[in-house]
Amino acid sequence: MNPLVSVSWLAARRDDPRTVVLDATLAPPGTPGDPHGRYLERHIPAARFFDIEALSDHATTLPHMLPTPDSFAAAMSELGVGDKMDIVVYEQQGVFSAPRAWWMLRTFGAKNVHVLDGGLSAWIEAGLPIESGLVLRSHPRAAGEGPPHASEAATNPAFHATFDPAAIVDFGHLQRLLAAQAQVLDARSAGRFHGTAPEPRPGLPSGHMPGALSLPFTQLVESGRLKPADELREVFTAAGIDLDRPVTTTCGSGVTAAVLLLGLEIAGATQLSLYDGSWAEYAQRPEATIVTT
């Protein structure tokens, strides 16, 4: 199943209580911006804010690591995300962080998770309505404003997390994959991969893992959207990826690695995993080999 859905697909289901919309915008490291503030200014009606930073594991100094299943389930239930709901994630502009939210939800057992093709920009370009303010479990409407919104009809949805261990790779597993010459695909820029450009996080050297392949996630994107499936297959093939073999993706902190993962799934790959610690962990490990070429 292609995880992407169009704005017309979502617009037709906006008042369905089984559909929940999540704004999963995250600012890239080292760039100014307030995604939550922009969410409050304008978002798809009834969309809740999926805060990737807040939903990460804060027991580690590594950025954006997966939280525990229980804490994730509690957070999703608080947002009004329930089991068996259709979940649509988007970001405010471009393709960067929404795939991370898609991957997190899938890793914790959500079955019907979609990414809005073109995100909020495509929604606005289509002339569809937006709103402002904070949305949590309910979406109160003023008297005489019309029928209640779908989020008001859904009563106490609950999310029960079922963790998929095959979706995630830790450092030890990664070392074994590298030793076996498995397919490890790096989403960082070519300069960071080859060690000619600095990392955005202070104190980390640039370079890459021995045997890893480079595919900057931006090569999957055109005009703020992921490329079509046939073009994605060409991009992955050109990068040296065999879509019939397992692929593990990595990046700086596990965010844009999910862009590669989403693109791989759209292209038809099925044996996929993500190294959650990514370069933020790998480059700090004294036993890790760093290659610069």
Order of strands across the sheet with 4-5?
4-5, 113-116, 86-90, 19-23, 48-49
Residues annotated as catalytic are 251
260-286: string of b/e by CB count within 10 Å (b at 16+)? bbbbbbbbebeebbbbbbbbbbbbbee
Q: Cα-Cα-Cα-Cα dihedral of 32, 34, 35, 37, to 10°?
A: -160
